[in-house]
Structure 1
């Protein structure tokens, strides 16, 4: 678990954060693994125009895995029946939106390349990113971002073409990539 992340799960309610689920969706194209990211539309809100994973607000009594799968269907048109869940990453509290986000990892098991059908109210663009690009250390940079209230701050991010992946999405992505690196290391050094 990444250092400094909260370990307990805070209950949803008046005194706690809202709960949400997101999906890191993987799929293969020509034997190369890709990850799906979305760019939110520009709107008057905290996460306007930002790059994120498909996901959103938990609707009780559904399980958080169901939240991530439902939101993926609603946002990018991939049904739960075409996704195999592989695991869960560390929940993350997002201060600006008061959300406790539960990230799940899934693999597209449908036939061929996924047929995305984005909901234009929630998704301005779908980014299909080769995993090798995200694993390339030159993709990790620091950029000056303007935060709420006009505060400008240098933040770590992933540079994906013209898009900066930063904030909570970058933190979840970093954890996922570190887990992949660990698996690769163990496979290359089986007696350690």
Structure 2
């Protein structure tokens, strides 16, 4: 199967992805209901004739999950839908307005690693993506980077972190490691987005410990 934008972002591929997402279960670590809700955007974009996923590296100054890779997103405000939250946070963090994002669907909720947060991933494509137009929020975002879909499919870039008996998928790309809830959401999305013959994970091939992944504090 071709990984070209014409194939991966076609109306047929989109319909297949959305149908697959509807079959996904939620992912919860405990039976207790978390008190807070958040949402993140899983942003597809086209760059150099290829399909990419966009990520951010959280600022080292943040209180929670500082220095870690994440999708744009944050806590839901009163009266907002999860889509509105994801779009608002994306504009605040990387400067992409809602008018430039074609929302595909909502994924099932995932419980955050701190267990107090329920996160709803929202899949969307950044239309006419221009990396030079991104506007990083210096208070929240250390770096904005993109990863080609073909690199996320490459088994040599796969590993895992074991968390409470669960092996959580981890993706390596250049200097970055996509892990934790972001790694899990990436994996769940790719399972829906790509046929099984294209995306075959091999995450048990390598294991990371938490202290290898946490950013060092100077």
Which TM class, normalised by the smaller chain length? 0.7 to 0.9
Aligned equivalent of 2:188: 175
TM-score, normalised on structure 1? 0.78
Structure 2 counterparts to residues 146-165 of structure 1, below 5 A:
156-165=169-178
Aligned equivalent of 1:75: 93
Give the whole-Å Cα distance in 1 for the aligned partners of 2:135 and 2:115: 26
SS of the residue aligned with 2:138? coil
Give the whole-Å Cα distance in 2 for the aligned partners of 1:91 and 1:134: 22
Aligned equivalent of 1:103: 121
Aligned equivalent of 2:130: 113
SS of the residue aligned with 1:158? strand
Structure 1 segments (4+ residues) deviating >6 Å? none
Asked if structure 2 preserves the Cα contact closer than 8 Å seen for 1:37 and 1:51, the reply is: yes
What are the Cα deviations for residues 101-144 of structure 1, in whole angstroms up to 9, with x where unaligned?
0001101123x524210101110000111111111121112469
Alignment RMSD, CA only? Answer: 2.5
Q: CA deviation at 1:162?
A: 1.1
Give the whole-Å Cα distance in 1 for the aligned partners of 2:67 and 2:137: 15
Structure 2: tracts of 5 or more residues without a match: 1-22, 199-218
Distance 1:179 1:123, change over 3 A: same
Aligned equivalent of 1:89: 107
Give the whole-Å Cα distance in 1 for the aligned partners of 2:143 and 2:96: 15
TM-score, normalised on structure 2? 0.70
Asked if structure 2 preserves the Cα contact closer than 8 Å seen for 1:46 and 1:96, the reply is: no
Structure 1: tracts of 5 or more residues without a match: 148-153, 186-192
Give the whole-Å Cα distance in 1 for the aligned partners of 2:193 and 2:101: 19
Aligned length in residues:
169
